[in-house]
Structure 1
Amino acid sequence: MSQSLRIVFAGTPDFAARHLAALLSSEHDVIAVYTQPDRPAGRGKKLTASPVKNIALEHDIPVYQPENFKSDEAKQQLADLNADIMIVVAYGLLLPEGVLNTPRLGCINVHGSILPRWRGAAPIQRSIWAGDAETGVTIMQMDVGLDTGDMLETATTPIESDDTSASMYEKLAELGPKALIHCLGNIAEGNIEPVKQDDELANYAKKLSKEEAKIDWNSEAAFIERCIRAFTPWPVSYFSAADNNIKVWKARVEPAQGDQQPGTILQADKTGIYIAAAKDTLVLEQIQVPGKKAMSVQDVLNARRDWFEVGSQLS
């Protein structure tokens, strides 16, 4: 059994909460939790605690919620905890160099990609968007750069042809805690060999935007289909038909049907809505019209067939 570490955990969303739960079931001692301040959420805009805060309170762990770490008070508060290590998972606040060096063993981060590929804000989504065959998690020693620290452990998982960002999030939320616990065991035993990242292999996972989710029919069908999966559950790919924005939740790629202008509706029936792309055909299977939930194409066509006339041009 490895030595128990005194851990400060910093994280905010459900992904982070899964890692905190794993730590609480390990031999290590979580002595404090940092999470973002309560934020307005829901229709009533009621102040809501983060998933990480909720778990910490259930286990009577002290919770700290600074707006940032600029003040001497916030820095001293962390120093007074006398932690061996700080674990950062989707915290959402920048940590200055002084904070990174405060715990005895510094700060480590769980990042949702195989670094140095996909540094930045949206690694899960960009791995699908780019057509990567696999992704994973990297446990790294944090430094002042953006996801540039030495790698302590990696774990990989395939990206299947039907994976969405939602399903990959679930996969990594299982993979990450296991890799973290294993890595902490090696750290506690002094059995860790940090590996420097090759900056020449690095790329940046730019944050998603609603504007990017608009389908460009001048792209290849395979790329559009990957975007649909990458942008599920947010911001959700969409196009315009009959002056309405139609969200696309599921589609498939089929060979081209002749030489039609991209964006042309080629066929619309219970098997799907077939749309010409720059290469091949995109077949819509599940879509969402304004004011309704996501439905099969057949159900939408039963009520809105006039929006999807064969030969019409989508924008």
Structure 2
Amino acid sequence: MRLVFAGTPEFARVALAALIAAGHEVALALTQPDRPAGRGLRLTPSPVKAEALAAGIPVLQPRSLRLDGRYPDEAAAAHEALRAARADAMIVAAYGLILPQSVLDIPRLGCLNIHASLLPRWRGAAPIQRAIEAGDERTGITIMQMDAGLDTGPMLLAEAVDIGPEQSAGALHDVLAALGGRLIVAALERAAGPGLAPRPQPAEGVTYAAKLDKSEAPLDCGQPAAVLARRVRAFDPVPGATLRLPWLAEPVKVWKARALPAAAGDAAPGTVLHAGPDGIDVATADGVLRLLELQKAGGKRQPVDVFVRAAGPAAAR
């Protein structure tokens, strides 16, 4: 098929690469404007832009697609380019801009979205992280026919995967990105052959995956250890969970942790009960959180035995 692709991060780049490898003609790619990144804050293209340019695909980076929004000239130019592309379908994956109805109506088959959850659970911006944080045992990919709502359109294809008991958001992201690329290729094969059978989303079970915020990073030991361990996994790699240890002036990043069934006794939440090569045990409202991989400000990730050895006698106080 002749396609337009709209996406920005690595999750979307994997899907774009899969579509190219499957032999589809991608006439145009839309992605977010270049953003400052790295220590030098140099303007850096998105993964989708880099993939598209390497494949010789024209790229547009409008700041809005709404003709009545803040950037009407950019939106109008994008509308014109979309019409000129004469695409059979527009594939959307983690694009980051709202698509107004005027855009949804342009492609012959409309716009198909690759969403990283089993809809209607976890509509919204951070479905991978929120699924882990909530303790879900399964998630997946849904290919959805887009409408003007927030991830509310009819479902075309879906496939589930298990969430591992110690799987981080980064690791789950990679699994779902690959699955998303495979499913969108399968959806287009069906669309070109026997056709797709849209199914409305159930009215029950709707949840919203709010965008991640840096303010969520600090771990509150007034919560149960099991909840905190899930948050550590959900926030790896972004924004990274943080915790204050009594011998350090600044919070540390906690990259791996495990909830222990052991009781913390009368220790107040946040008390360090033990610091050794096997872990740093911290009392919580319910159970003990064992820290297994940490990172000091300005440092590198370290397994806990290296971290404790570097802290020396301070960790034993």
Per the normalisation by structure 2, the TM-score is 0.92
Counterpart contact for 1:165–1:229, Cα < 8 Å:
yes
Is residue 2:47 matched to residue 1:40?
A: no
The residue number in structure 2 matching 1:313 is none
Moved more, 146-155 or 198-207: 198-207
Q: What is the CA–CA distance in structure 2 between the aligned matches of 1:104 and 1:228, rounded to whole Å? A: 43
1:225 pairs, out of 220, 224, 229, with 229
1:81 CA displacement:
1.3
Instruction: Give me the identity figure in percent.
Output: 47
Counterpart contact for 1:265–1:309, Cα < 8 Å:
no
1:21 pairs, out of 12, 17, 20, with 17
Q: Where do residues 92-103 of structure 1 align in structure 2 (5 Å cutoff)?
A: 92-103=96-107
1:247-288, CA deviations, whole angstroms, 9 ceiling, x for partnerless residues? 111111212143422212111111111111111111111111
Q: What is the CA–CA distance in structure 2 between the aligned matches of 1:264 and 1:72, rounded to whole Å? A: 58
1:262 pairs, out of 253, 269, 273, with 269
Moved more, 62-71 or 268-277: 62-71
1:96 CA displacement:
0.7
Q: What is the CA–CA distance in structure 2 between the aligned matches of 1:141 and 1:97, rounded to whole Å? A: 13
How big is the alpha-carbon RMSD for the aligned residues of Structure 1 and Structure 2?
1.5
The residue number in structure 2 matching 1:238 is 242
2:117 pairs, out of 105, 113, 118, with 113
Is residue 2:184 matched to residue 1:184?
A: no
Letter in 1 for 2:243: F
The residue number in structure 2 matching 1:9 is 5
Counterpart contact for 2:113–2:144, Cα < 8 Å:
yes
Q: Tell me, what secondary structure is at the counterpart of 2:87?
A: coil
Counterpart contact for 2:222–2:285, Cα < 8 Å:
yes
1:305 CA displacement:
4.3
Q: What is the CA–CA distance in structure 2 between the aligned matches of 1:305 and 1:215, rounded to whole Å? A: 24
| CA 156–73 in structure 1, closer or farther in 2 if over 3 Å, else same | same
The residue number in structure 2 matching 1:204 is 208
Letter in 2 for 1:21: A
1:46 CA displacement:
2.3
Moved more, 131-140 or 198-207: 198-207
1:88 pairs, out of 85, 88, 92, with 92
Letter in 2 for 1:39: R
1:190 CA displacement:
4.2
1:72 CA displacement:
3.0
1:45 CA displacement:
2.5
Q: What is the CA–CA distance in structure 2 between the aligned matches of 1:309 and 1:210, rounded to whole Å? A: 30
Moved more, 289-298 or 300-309: 300-309
The residue number in structure 1 matching 2:255 is 249
The residue number in structure 2 matching 1:170 is 174
Q: What is the CA–CA distance in structure 2 between the aligned matches of 1:257 and 1:40, rounded to whole Å? A: 44
Letter in 2 for 1:245: P
Counterpart contact for 1:241–1:307, Cα < 8 Å:
no
1:116-137, CA deviations, whole angstroms, 9 ceiling, x for partnerless residues? 0000010000010000001111
1:43 CA displacement:
2.3
The residue number in structure 2 matching 1:54 is 50
1:114 CA displacement:
0.6
Moved more, 257-266 or 170-179: 257-266
Q: Where do residues 56-71 of structure 1 align in structure 2 (5 Å cutoff)?
A: 56-69=52-65, 70=67, 71=75
Moved more, 225-234 or 38-47: 38-47
The residue number in structure 1 matching 2:283 is 276
Counterpart contact for 1:138–1:152, Cα < 8 Å:
yes
Counterpart contact for 2:264–2:286, Cα < 8 Å:
no
Q: What is the CA–CA distance in structure 2 between the aligned matches of 1:253 and 1:38, rounded to whole Å? A: 40
Counterpart contact for 2:60–2:78, Cα < 8 Å:
no
Is residue 2:284 matched to residue 1:288?
A: no
1:299 CA displacement:
2.0
Per the normalisation by structure 1, the TM-score is 0.93
Letter in 2 for 1:288: Q
